[in-house]
A and B are shown apart, each in its own frame.
Chain A
């Protein structure tokens, strides 16, 4: 039973958000290729899609896991900024 619990937790933790995720990804990918890559970076788009998707994620992602993700993010993003300034 433990095994089943563990696997469902890992394999489909955020799948309830998959529709919102698809909507956001479609919007993001279009924005990236058609605007951002063409020099139009004056404003962030897909805000509505992002907010809905994010609200769903925060409901379904384990808090502990999320805080570990964000911890890693802080370290790695700092690393990225230093190497880009080389």
Chain B
């Protein structure tokens, strides 16, 4: 079983501001309350290529993912470790992220691919965010018999959280915008 979905979202802010917001998303305290499923985010690696402006990073993310009681009973924990790999190409204005779980893999595989690109209708002012998520219960795991149900629940939870995430991103963008105009006054 695989459940997948795609989402697109337009930020009416320039690419530089939106990708800055993406880095700050998990950092400040107010956002931490809203994104309370994110318990810990740590940078594991960062690498800048000074010849072409390509930044690569890897972050470790600990997520709280409480399932229904019967899933918790089988899985035995409600924390999940994820890895997020990012590539920012500053010259070509593109940011790509891949996140996936590296714990609980014998039960489930979740992968999320995100891209931030300048919006074709307004490349200087807007940003297009495209996201593809796939959720797959392992066929012979203890969850296989209820795969469909678990995947569906999981997808619902993901959509809920990505709604919260957009809200936080929008707020940081506004904040960065105010900061930038304040400085230029």
In the complex, which residues of chain A have a beta carbon less than 8 angstroms from the beta carbon of B81? 10, 65, 68-69
Closest to B176 in A: A33
Least Cβ–Cβ distance between A68 and chain B, in angstroms: 5
> Given that A29-B24, A65-B81, A69-B58 are known contacts, is A84 also in contact with B89, CB under 8 Å in the complex?
yes
Q: How far is the CA of A68 from the CA of B102 in the complex (A)?
A: 7
In the complex, which residues of chain B have a beta carbon less than 8 angstroms from the beta carbon of A72? 83, 85, 100, 102
How many of chain B's residues have a CB under 8 angstroms from any CB in A?
38
Q: How far is the CA of A66 from the CA of B81 in the complex (A)?
A: 11
Main secondary structure of the interface of B (DSSP, over half): strand
Chain A interface size, under 10 / 10 to 19 / 20 to 34 / 35 or more:
35 or more
Least Cβ–Cβ distance between B100 and chain A, in angstroms: 7
Instruction: Known pairs A11-B79, A32-B20, A76-B58; list 19 more (Cβ under 8 Å).
Output: A6-B77, A7-B77, A13-B62, A14-B42, A14-B60, A28-B23, A36-B48, A36-B88, A37-B19, A39-B90, A41-B50, A43-B48, A44-B46, A50-B43, A68-B102, A69-B44, A70-B58, A73-B85, A80-B96
Residues of A within 8 A of B (CB): 6-7, 10-15, 17, 21-22, 24-25, 28-29, 32-33, 36-37, 39, 41-44, 50, 53, 57, 61, 65-66, 68-70, 72-73, 76-77, 79-81, 83-84
Sample (22) of A-B pairs whose CB atoms are under 8 Å apart? A7-B79, A14-B42, A22-B27, A25-B43, A29-B23, A32-B20, A33-B16, A36-B55, A39-B90, A41-B53, A44-B48, A44-B50, A53-B43, A57-B44, A61-B60, A73-B44, A76-B85, A76-B100, A77-B85, A80-B98, A83-B96, A84-B87
